[in-house]
Amino acid sequence: MKQFIAFVRKEFYHVLRDRRTLLILFGMPIAQILIFGFALTNEVKDSEILVVDYARDNASQELITEISASRYFNIRQAALSYQEILSAFRAGKIRAVVVFPANFNADLLHQNKAQVQIIADATDINTANMITNYLSSIIMDYQNRVNENLNMPYRIIPETRMLYNPQLKGAHGFVPGVMALVLLLVSVMMTAISIVREKETGTMEVLLVSPFKPVLVIFAKAFPYLLLSLVNVAAILFLSVFVLDLPVKGSLPLLFAESTLFIITCLALGIFISIKTDSQQIAMLISLMGMLLPTMMFSGFLFPIENMPYPLQILSNIVPSKWFYIIVKSIMIKGLGLNAIWKETAILAGMTLFLLAISLKSFKIRLQ
Amino acid sequence: MEAIVVKNITKTYGKGKKTDGTLAVDNVSFTVGKGELFGLIGPDGAGKTSIFRMLTTLLVPDSGSATVDGHDIVSDFRQIRSTVGYMPGKFSLYQDLTIEENLNFFATVFGTTIEENYHLIRDIYVQIEPFKTRRAGKLSGGMKQKLALCCALIHKPTTLFLDEPTTGVDPVSRKEFWEMLKRLKAQDITIIVSTPYMDEAALCDRIALIQGGKILSIDTPQRIVQSYPEQLFAVKANEMYRLLQALENYPGILRSYAFGEYAHATFRDPDFKTDDLEAYLTGQGLTSVRIEAIEATIEDSFIKLLN
């Protein structure tokens, strides 16, 4: 036990004295949360739009007020010529243009129908779609209000409710994703690299020729990263609650327990990689290519799994982070308990046991 | 009692179905007595490290057997691991830990404390103690080796394995290091050390000259030198390259090779006269020729064994 503690203390010295390691350990999660939270958001906030109002009547003015009242849009000065619209698009200053034709109000009142033109910059398809949707719904709202007094039979008004995330916050999807990503990097890559480093510097040879059991060497090396990863989980949750206003709806202890399970999965993977490789570079490449990419692609964090071809959907099942992503989403955002995620937990636990078993089996007490 | 007994061990690397692999250690046998300072002398790639790794239980020999302190290197590897001290060739300690932390760590891993066995390392440790808060990565080569030796000694091993401990260390530190080994020998610790430096061989009790995985000769350094069969001559002239060429073409020559600023040569004829050679070399256009009869060194013996 004394040996184990000495080992863990030594490992902490390594981590705390290497500025680059520290930066990866604690700078990365914070940076990722902040980048995903504020920069890489697919929400449409404060989009600049241009309004061209040929009508200049009651109805058009009311609609413009409605649009500018929404926090999604900033209305810029009204241009009047078509040329001006095009040059504004080309300058990249605006995302969309709303054009009211002349006699807008009159058409609405007398012909019971009027037209509004929405021109959107579709170089970014998602944003263009979202902006036109928002604009359409504002116009629909207005129309419904105007029509309230008129007695129109057979109206179907779809009432949409965005469950769990009524404000359509982007943070909901990526916090669990970033968590899976960071834990994976810290636990798999750092563990693999730190064990392989001992092989490279020859210290592993000395440790093997010591009374300390070789398997304990590996566990003692992995243990500090379990603690550091848990600190990372706490840091990410802290940021998401206090900076991104995303509360943890479910049970916090359960979330930590599931994170610990996932960290152990990752540590087992890291140990396995370290056993199979002899240089730090290769260990890092395998961790990055073999772990990071599948996590990004197949966890459902960046690309919805349901949209993938069927073979890839099946393939995604062997990626541990997919299950962890589902678990974290369920606990954090939906506020579900263990009874709802026991299946995912069981799968993750099974993977962990399997990985630990093959790591221990392939572990060598000698050099060859 | 013998501390180490090696019987016909052989080790091949990378043996596959199609390739025969590389033969690193070829049917090697030797014994090392308790408290002996035994040297494995040979160039890089001779198989020294492979022998060390087998004796420290890191590798399993393909065939043959060996014991360390009576423990078999394959079946009793646990006992060996807790009693021997090992300093691998590329051992570089933990660069980001200080001298004291390194030593403390290894002491703890071996289930002891610095205080308990301080008497063993005191002579060495006092030299680096003033820098004990300095990180190992910032130490000079000689200081690193001293620290590594302390780490290998801290658990009072019965046998100490030092794989090329002085490679890359300056001559002064090398000399100091060997003096330390002599003092350790007095503590009844068996030491087996490998080195590519022939001058260090003379400092061992017994040496094994090894080349290409085979042991060429095992004896005390004195007897290896004494058993050099011919009289050796050191020859010097104004031009080394032409001197070597001239020597090679000399009718009675047996062996000739460059040795520092001299050429070393032996001759077939037991009644060889230096005057004859001098006349021949001067006739070849060489000037300031000097010829001396000298004692052979380990290196000369080694070169003879290689041919």
CA distance B72 to chain A (A): 15
CA distance B271 to chain A (A): 54
Q: What are the residue boundaries of the structural domains of chain A, listed by start?
A: 13-40+169-362, 47-147
Q: Tell me what pLDDT residue B264 has.
A: 93
Q: What are the residue boundaries of the structural domains of chain B, listed by start?
A: 2-225, 232-306
**A121: closest CA among A44, A40, A37, A38?**
A44
Please give the residue of chain B at the shortest CA–CA distance from A217.
B109
Q: From residue B220, give the alpha-carbon distance in Å to each of B2, B38, B196, B281.
A: 16, 9, 17, 37
Q: What is the mean pLDDT of chain B?
A: 89
With beta carbons less than 8 A apart as the criterion, state whether A53 and A78 touch.
yes
Q: Tell me what pLDDT residue A105 has.
A: 83
Q: Tell me what pLDDT residue B84 has.
A: 92
Q: Tell me what pLDDT residue A179 has.
A: 85
CA distance B106 to chain A (A): 9
Which chain B residues have a beta carbon less than 8 Å from that of A202?
A: 88-92
* Minimal Cβ distance to B90: which of A6, A202, A208: A202
DSSP string, A67-97: HHHSTTEEEEPPP-SHHHHHHHHHTT--SEE
Please compute, for residue B46, the number of CA atoms within 13 A of its CA located in the half-sphere on the CB side: 22
Please give the residue of chain B at the shortest CA–CA distance from A211.
B82
What is the distance of C-alpha B75 from the center of its chain? 28
With beta carbons less than 8 A apart as the criterion, state whether B205 and B188 touch.
no
Which chain A residues have a beta carbon less than 8 Å from that of B77?
A: 365
Q: Which residue has the higher pLDDT, B69 or A292?
A: B69
Distance (Å, whole) CA B142 – CA B166: 8
Which chain B residues have a beta carbon less than 8 Å from that of A366?
A: 57-60
Confidence of residue B122 (pLDDT cuts 50, 70, 90): confident
* Minimal Cβ distance to A209: which of B58, B96, B101: B58
pLDDT tens, B3-51?
A: 999 999 999 988 776 777 888 999 999 999 999 999 999 888 889 999 9
Distance (Å, whole) CA B59 – CA B11: 9
Which chain A residues have a beta carbon less than 8 Å from that of B53?
A: 205, 367
Q: Tell me what pLDDT residue A18 has.
A: 85
Domain A47-147 is found in CATH 3.40.50.720: no
Confidence of residue A28 (pLDDT cuts 50, 70, 90): confident
**A68: closest CA among A143, A160, A134, A165?**
A134
Which chain A residues have a beta carbon less than 8 Å from that of B82?
A: 210-211
**B94: closest CA among A200, A224, A187?**
A200
Distance (Å, whole) CA A175 – CA A247: 11
Q: Tell me what pLDDT residue A292 has.
A: 80
pLDDT tens, B203-233?
A: 999 999 999 899 999 999 999 989 888 889 9
pLDDT tens, A145-194?
A: 777 666 555 656 666 666 666 665 655 667 888 888 888 888 888 889 88
Across the interface, whether the CB atoms of A366 and B97 are under 8 A apart is answered: no
Query: How buried is A361 (Cβ within 10 angstroms: 0-12 exposed, 13-18 middle, 19+ buried)?
Result: exposed
With beta carbons less than 8 A apart as the criterion, state whether B125 and B118 touch.
yes
Q: Tell me what pLDDT residue A168 has.
A: 58
Distance (Å, whole) CA B171 – CA B169: 7
Q: Is A19 on the interface with B (CB under 8 A)?
A: no
Please give the residue of chain A at the shortest CA–CA distance from B13.
A368
With beta carbons less than 8 A apart as the criterion, state whether B191 and B36 touch.
yes
Paired with B41 in beta bridges are B195, B209
With beta carbons less than 8 A apart as the criterion, state whether A128 and A121 touch.
yes
Which chain B residues have a beta carbon less than 8 Å from that of A10?
A: 94, 97, 101, 105
A326-360: burial string, b at 16+ Cβ within 10 Å, e else: bbbbbbbbbebeeeebeebbebbeebbeebbeebe
Across the interface, whether the CB atoms of B59 and A368 are under 8 A apart is answered: yes
* Minimal Cβ distance to B109: which of A6, A14, A205: A6
Please give the residue of chain A at the shortest CA–CA distance from B135.
A17
CA distance A290 to chain B (A): 27
Confidence of residue A252 (pLDDT cuts 50, 70, 90): very high
* Minimal Cβ distance to A202: which of B77, B88, B109: B88
Residue B136 pLDDT more than 80? yes
Distance (Å, whole) CA A195 – CA A219: 10
Q: Tell me what pLDDT residue A233 has.
A: 92
CA distance B133 to chain A (A): 14
pLDDT tens, A190-232?
A: 889 888 988 888 888 888 888 888 888 888 888 999 999 999 9
Q: Tell me what pLDDT residue A171 has.
A: 58
Topology of the domain comprising B232-306: Alpha-Beta Plaits (3.30.70)
Please give the residue of chain A at the shortest CA–CA distance from B87.
A206
Q: Tell me what pLDDT residue B39 has.
A: 94
Q: Tell me what pLDDT residue A221 has.
A: 87
Angle between helix axes A252-276 and A214-242 (nearest 10 degrees) is 140
Residue A22 pLDDT more than 70? yes
- In this structure, of B46-60, B93-107, B207-221, B267-281, the range with the lowest mean pLDDT score is B267-281
Which class would CATH give B2-225?
Answer: alpha beta
- In this structure, of A156-160, A323-327, B150-154, B189-193, the range with the lowest mean pLDDT score is A156-160
With beta carbons less than 8 A apart as the criterion, state whether B86 and A206 touch.
yes
Query: For residue B94, how many other CB atoms are within 10 A of its CB?
Result: 22
Contacts of A235 (CB under 8 A, 6+ apart): A26, A29, A30
- Angle value at C-alpha A273, between A269 and A277, nearest 5 degrees: 175
- In this structure, of A35-49, A223-237, A343-357, B234-248, the range with the lowest mean pLDDT score is A35-49
Which chain A residues have a beta carbon less than 8 Å from that of B57?
A: 209, 366
Query: How buried is B63 (Cβ within 10 angstroms: 0-12 exposed, 13-18 middle, 19+ buried)?
Result: exposed
* Minimal Cβ distance to A207: which of B53, B104, B109: B109
The DSSP output letter for A101 is P
Distance (Å, whole) CA A88 – CA A76: 11
pLDDT tens, A63-114?
A: 888 888 887 788 876 666 778 788 888 887 788 888 888 888 888 878 777 8
Across the interface, whether the CB atoms of B110 and A7 are under 8 A apart is answered: no
* Minimal Cβ distance to B81: which of A18, A201, A211: A211
Q: Tell me what pLDDT residue A167 has.
A: 60
Q: Is 0.90 topped by the overall pTM?
A: no
With beta carbons less than 8 A apart as the criterion, state whether B196 and B167 touch.
yes
